[in-house]
Structure formats: structure tokens, C-alpha cells
Amino acid sequence: MKAAALLIFIAFSVSVSAKKQGNKHYITNQSPLVAQPYTTLPIGSIQPEGFLLKMLETQRDGLTGHLDSIYSLVCGPDNGWLGGTGDGWERGPYWLDGLVPLAYILDDAELKKKAQKWIEWSIQSQREDGYFGPKPLPEAYIKIPGTQQGMRNDWWPKMVMLKVLQQYYMATEDERVIDLMTRYFKYQLKLLPENELGYVTYWGNRRGGDNLAIVYWLYNVTGDKFLLDLAEIIHEQTFDWTAVYSGNMIRSLNPLPNLHCVNVAQGLKEPIVYYQQHPEEKYLGAVKNGLSALRDCHGFVNGMYGADEFLHGNIPTQGSELCSAVEMMYSFETAVPITGDVFYADYLEKIAYNVLPTQSTDDYMRKQYFQQANQVKITDEPRNFFHDTNGRIVYGTTTGYPCCLSNMHQGWPKFIQNCWYATADNGIAAMLYGPSKVKAKVANGEWVTITETTDYPFREKIRFTIQPESDLKFPFHLRIPQWCKSSRITVNGAVQNNEVSENIVVLNREWKPGDVVELYLSMDFRFSRWNEMSLGIERGPLVYALRIEEEWREITKKGYDDTFWEVLPKSPWNYAISKKVIEEGDFEIEVNEEVKSNPWNLENAPVRVHTKGFRIPEWKEEKGSAGPIPLRPRLVGDRVEEEIVLIPYGCTTLRISQFPVH
């Protein structure tokens, strides 16, 4: 009798687990896809606070909230994704890819209304056969310069709109999205054998990983088996990123065929996404290997790589595109929940907290197409970039090339959306750190709210206040960054000695309303060497760079759609640092009492590092950039060391972040 009851119990639990794998409350990988340790929460579950909230509010008041009027030629009412004869390609969907999460995280009625027009049109546009999006234009249409009206049957812009619709569903659960995707993916399954991903433009072939990720996501919602067949075809037709990242191609200075900067960033997700269906180590290994190759041969201390269109080596005055930064972030945001590997979370914070804030203006009304790790002057003059025209480095709107103007908006909203995850053991994980609040289902579906109060990334302490509705047992996962040599966790003041496994600590206990967890992450200086043995200085998640006084001037120029800003240096930049300073640890840190709502500029920089450098008169400007890094500069003759101030890279506009070393 007892044995029979036990058998029934086992049978019951097997059937339950076969039905839903992993986290019980949210959409997560289902068999045969590999179980994922972390799961993305619905949009609206995570609320930014402090400076993270300020970043979103600035986007709302800046370009993201107003691109339809500021860039009306492309994102206005004539866009193909609103049924017009204007641009019918990627730029409308790019904007929505940031606008939708922004609107729903901020719960902003006006922004939601703006986004809804595009969503409704996209849903209504679906044909009987499953196709959706702008229809091919009639033979004789009026050409509008500055837009991409053609290429409407390209698979690529749909990949972006699928990401938009997925996020819209994660905010609203509008079931029409599931229906649209199912019918569209059946259409893809039928058409792809003949019209391959790259049949209209090569972008579809390079960026198939974005398509693939949504196919798996839909599988987790509906369990439709045809999606797994479609996934195989999409992977097959996508550029072989696994081979490229595993091999030596990236290790050549100017690889052929050309590797485009944004594709390299976007492609990083493909092997990891496909790994879900084929969990073989080679896919994960490829991405790590590719990132090492990028670092070794094209890398900068800021985490980006020299690729001013095509990969272009590691001289710190080569450019890195804003699209590359936000797409690299999105690739890492895809990798973290699948792999649970904190390497990607650390890297994601590095891009968000260093590269991202400085590539747009404080009011989020202008952006740079390229930024430089050593950037001493921002003017509309040719530099040594692959593509060198149209103000590649100035702060403008359509300057450089207009992709970034539309694609930049996803940066902060998606970063915030990935700060917290649900976990496979029905708990919650704090994965990226910053001031925020989360409300999510844990344990058997009970709600918990956790408030994260912190000045991270500028300070070492993070405080979590836990509010279950009543006493409740659930696991709370905390990331210990790989750069952190010493961490400490307390619960209500009592030091915890939990095991750290793969840089994750799990506090599994009964939580009472008002419990407080404090996490202390020591931030020690780290020194690294780059092009011509130049010195990079990091501390915690932040890179430090020379503080240079700035003079901003707004320029109106014939042939440009809009005004743009140039920035000139008002203090010297040609400093070297001696080995002695590094060895003696001659770095004095000064942290402000208060972190301002926008910490990302010279005035508000929350941290200053006082150290010593000496000027090298022969290190001069060349073609608007700092000349080649002097190898082994000498501290001789009348050269003297003087105090220099370093501030977080993200607070600089002009900077030296890779110093010559004596």
C-alpha cells in the first residue's frame, strides 16, 4: 500500500516536470532545449531608481521620446512600417526596439501610444500566407533620398520587429503576437529553402541569430515542434559564427572577407542561442575564443574593439560604433540567462557603465557614430577610419551613418531589464547591479519585492531590502564579479559564509518582511597593457581615464541635416605614467558623498583618482587624433611628474584611457 502510494507520487512528479522545465512562473526553455539557469522577467517587473531611472527619463525627454518628429523623414508617418512609401527597412523597427521597453518600464502612456501605432500596423499587415511588414513598392515610386525604401522583402528588418513584438508581449501578454509569430514562422519554414536569409541583403545572413532567438522563445510559449525544424534551417543559413570565432580570422588585422563591426557584436549571440538546441561545448567555447581574439588583436581597455566599419586593429584612436556597443550588450543579455556565466554579466556592465554613457550627450539629443578610447578632439575632420566622411565622430543626429540614431535606444532599457532574473530553482537573482526595485513571483508563486539601494558602480556597497508578503523561503542568487577579489555578505548584519560557486552565491533561507542583505564588493585597481604596451587602469566595473577640460561648440554646416557639436581640449592630454607610480600604488581615491542623478559628465563625476603623470611634448595630435602611442617615453631632462586626475571613463568626453608607460 505504502509502495503504491509512493509510485503514484513519483509518476505525478515526473509528469509535472515533463510539462514544465525550469522556473515554474515565467517563460523559460522547455525540453528538448537545454534548461536555462536564469529567466528573463516580464517588462514592468523591474523598476530603475536613482541614476538608472534618470537615464530612462532622459531618453524619454530626448531622442527616444521624439524620434518621430526629430527624424520624421524616416521615423515619421511615411515609414513603411506604418503603411507609407518611405523607409521600409531596419530603422523604424530599431527605434521601436528601444521605445517599447522604455515605454513599458516607465509605464508612460504617451510613449506607449507612440509605439502602439507601429505594433498595430505590424500585426494588421500580416498577409494570408504569413508575411508581415512593409509590402514591396510599386515599380514607379518617388525616391526619397536618405531613406531605404526598397529591400522590403528582406528577412533582416523583420528580425528586429520580432524582437520588438516579443518585448511587447512580455509587457502586455497580447496574444495576437503569438498568433502573428506562429504564422510568420510557418511562412519562413516554407520560403527559406528557396529564399535564404541573405537573399536580399547580407545582413539577414549575418544576423540570423536574432531570428533564431525568437523562434526558440516562441517554442517555449507554444511547444510547436515545427519551430525546432525552422531553427535548424535558420542556423544553417546563418553565417558560420562558430567557425569564425573559433578560428584565427579575427586574429588578423584587416581580415578578409571584411568583418563588419556591428555584425561581429551581434553574431556573438548566435552560437550560444543555437547551443540551446545542441548543447555542445564548442558553441560556448567559440564565443569565449572570439572575444579573446577581439581583445588581443583589436581590443581597447573599455571593452570595445577597433572596428570603424570593419575590424581595424587595436590602435586606441580607431573607432568603435555605437551600434556595436548596444548590440554587444544585447548579445551578452542573451548569453547570461542561457549560460549563467557571470563573465558575460561583468562584460555587460563594462560596456554599459563605461562605453554607453559617453557616446550620447547629457540630454540624449545627439550621439557619436564612432568613439575613440583615446579621444582628444571631436571635430568634423577625417581621421583614420575605414569610412571617414559625414562627421563620424561629432555629436550629431544623422551624422556618421543614421543606423545608430535609430538603434541606440535599446541600450539602457534592456540593461535594466536584465538586472534581475527569475531562477531555475524558483528564486530570484540580482545579476547586474544598480539602483533598482524588482517585484516577481518566487517559491510557489508568492510575490516578493526587493529594493536595491546602491551607488554602484561608483561605490562598493549594495543593500537589498526584501519584502515578501509574509515569511517565505526562496533562494536569492547574487553575482560576485570575476574582478572582485574579496566580497562580504551580511543578512540583517550577520556575516554569511555561503559557498561561492561559479561566482554566484545562493542565499536559500526563510525571508521575513524587511530583511536586509548587504553585499560588499571590494574594488581594487587593476592594470592591463594594450597597444604599444599602453596602460589601462580599471577599478571594479569602471575604467579610469584622464580628465580633460572640454570646450563644446555647436556647428551648423551646409550639407548636414542638423546642427552637431564639436569638442575641443582645454587642458593638456599628452601624459605618460611611470612604472614606479604603478608599483607604488600611487593612486588616491576621492569619492563624492552624493552621486548626482546624472553622474556621467565632468562636473558630476562621482570618483576622482589622483595620481602622477609627465608630459611628452613629442606626443602630438595627428589628423585630429592623438598620434601613435610613444613606446618607452623617457622621464628625463626637464620633464617632471605632476598631479593628474583620472575619472570614470563614462564621465569623460575627451580622454586618454590608454597611457604610454615609462
Interface ranges with Zn ion (CB under 5 A): 323, 403-404
Q: Min. distance of Cβ 91 from Zn ion in angstroms?
A: 10
Question: Of the two residues 156 and 433, which places its CB atom closer to Zn ion in the complex?
Answer: 156
Question: Of the two residues 249 and 403, which places its CB atom closer to Zn ion in the complex?
Answer: 403
Q: Min. distance of Cβ 371 from Zn ion in angstroms?
A: 12
How far is residue 635's CA from residue 614's CA, in Å, rounded to a whole number? 7
How far is residue 478's CA from residue 500's CA, in Å, rounded to a whole number? 10
Task: Decide: 72 and 133 in contact? Cβ < 8 Å.
Answer: no
Comparing CA positions, the residue from 377, 231, 387, 241 lying closest to residue 317 is 377
Question: Of the two residues 325 and 504, which places its CB atom closer to Zn ion in the complex?
Answer: 325
Residue linked to cell 557619436: 368
How far is residue 597's CA from residue 594's CA, in Å, rounded to a whole number? 9
Question: Of the two residues 90 and 518, which places its CB atom closer to Zn ion in the complex?
Answer: 90
Q: Min. distance of Cβ 401 from Zn ion in angstroms?
A: 6
Q: Min. distance of Cβ 96 from Zn ion in angstroms?
A: 16
Q: Min. distance of Cβ 624 from Zn ion in angstroms?
A: 21
Q: Min. distance of Cβ 505 from Zn ion in angstroms?
A: 38
Task: Decide: 261 and 307 in contact? Cβ < 8 Å.
Answer: yes
Question: Of the two residues 90 and 425, which places its CB atom closer to Zn ion in the complex?
Answer: 90
Comparing CA positions, the residue from 311, 211, 213 lying closest to residue 262 is 311
**What's the burial of 509, exposed, middle or buried (CB within 10 Å: 0-12/13-18/19+)?**
middle
Q: Min. distance of Cβ 324 from Zn ion in angstroms?
A: 8
- CB-CB neighbours of 475 under 10 Å: 17
Q: Max Cα separation, the chain? A: 95
Q: Min. distance of Cβ 78 from Zn ion in angstroms?
A: 22
Task: Decide: 262 and 386 in contact? Cβ < 8 Å.
Answer: no
Report, in this order, helix, strand and coil percent for the chain, each rounded to 5.
Answer: 35, 20, 40
Question: Of the two residues 401 and 520, which places its CB atom closer to Zn ion in the complex?
Answer: 401
How far is residue 487's CA from residue 53's CA, in Å, rounded to a whole number? 27
How far is residue 505's CA from residue 519's CA, in Å, rounded to a whole number? 11
Question: Of the two residues 261 and 484, which places its CB atom closer to Zn ion in the complex?
Answer: 261
Question: Of the two residues 220 and 406, which places its CB atom closer to Zn ion in the complex?
Answer: 406
Q: Which residue is nearest to Zn ion (CB)?
A: 323
